[in-house]
Amino acid sequence: MAKTIALLPTALSNNSFPDTDWQALMAGSLRSADQLAAHLPVARAAIEQVIARYPMRINPYFLSLVQRHGHPLQRQAVPCAEELLVDDSQPDPLHEEQQSPVNGIIHRYPDRVVFLVSNRCAVYCRFCMRKRQVGHDTPIGWKALQQGLDYIRATAGIREVILSGGDPLLRTDEQLEWLLANLRAIAHVEIIRIHSRVFSTLPQRITPALAAILSRFGPLYVNTHFNHAAEITPQAEHACRLLVEAGIPMGCQTVLLRGVNDSPTVLQHLMRRLVAIRVRPYYLHQMDPVAGTAHFRVPIRQGLALMQSLRGHMSGLCVPQYMIDLPGGGGKIPLLPGYVKETGAKTIQVENYRGERFSYPLN
């Protein structure tokens, strides 16, 4: 049984977050408008309305970051009335549900599937593309997991399984070990990938015991999710180090978010910090047109300009790919700033990161 811990005092000095068990931190999460209002100056009634539709969870660790850093972290975790604005976006624009052959599996590409193994997260991000699903109280049971495994076992073209959710690492060590052992027993599954945000929202989840389990089921890759350098605390850094030193390559999927990371300095700082902790920037995601998230969208033109502010100005290791996920289940494609200015009969005219023009032979 997880013990509940007292919520934190408002003033926390740097890095003084107590060393607490992750299950206790989950149990101590803020879930209601009243609990939140006791810690942050917020409009209680508006928040209550939003939570009725889209659940809130802010665990004490992430609350301490919000209290310390304010806006860029608050905006990600604290519900806001704009989530209820009606526009033409849909709950599931990517048609994940149509591309789901069995519950919990999204099979969009020939060689890989997403396997949703948890619908809980350590914090419910207000911009989540699976807002329609996460945090509602229907835990994913053994039967659903078995069905997913059966589908993967029966589908020989699947070379890679991406565990996602919700957050797969909110499963217990024993459950994860069971899942991974079952996946590894399937001969055609070459690669296992885990998509998890706990490195930024609940780094206490990453323990030496978990690292030891994950390291037994390689080749296994972990992609995490940081949106702002303020999330890279000593605790987060330690969590990443545990996995990297256990031989697990780590990448990061960042979501481009208005009011959080939509500036060259914020993005550059984030990417540099990621590389410094040995987490390779993988994708910078354009926000999907998901209902309840319009206030986070950054125009594509601005996204392209931001990519231009990275490429060439900093190490190629720091540059993720800027991705859009096509509506209707078309899949992801990268967007590149317009480096090719003209295509002639024999040459292309290109522009470098300093805005200088060059001619380059076509053949």
Stretch that binds ligand SF4, among 65-73, 165-173, 210-218, 300-308 (CB under 6 A): 165-173
Q: Which of 8, 47, 105, 121 binds ligand SF4 (CB under 6 A)?
A: 121
* Contact with ligand SF4 (CB under 6 A) among 112, 197, 273, 285: 197
Q: How far apart are CA 113 and CA 107, in angstroms?
A: 5
> Could you say which of 61, 80, 92, 125 is catalytic?
125
Question: Is 325 an annotated catalytic residue?
Answer: yes
Say whether residue 131 binds ligand PLP (CB under 6 A): no
Active site residue 108: yes
Which one of ligand SF4, ligand PLP, none is in contact with 221 (Cβ closer than 5 to 8 A by kind)?
Answer: none
Q: Which of 75, 120, 240, 325 is catalytic?
A: 325
The binder of 109, among ligand PLP, ligand SF4, none, by C-beta within 5 to 8 A per type, is: ligand PLP
Strand partners, 164: 116
Q: Which is nearer to ligand SF4, 148 or 166 (CB)?
A: 166
The one catalytic residue among 31, 173, 332, 353: 332
Nearer to ligand SF4, 108 or 131 (CB): 131
Q: Which is nearer to ligand SF4, 17 or 226 (CB)?
A: 226
How many of the chain's residues bind ligand PLP (CB under 6 A)? 7
Identified catalytic residue from 75, 131, 288, 322? 288
Among 83, 96, 167, 288, binds ligand SF4 (CB under 6 A): 167
CB of 66 to ligand SF4, least distance (A): 15
Which residue out of 21, 31, 68, 109 is catalytically annotated?
109
297 is catalytic: no
Point out which residues bind ligand SF4 (CB under 6 A).
Answer: 121, 124-125, 128, 130, 134, 165-167, 197
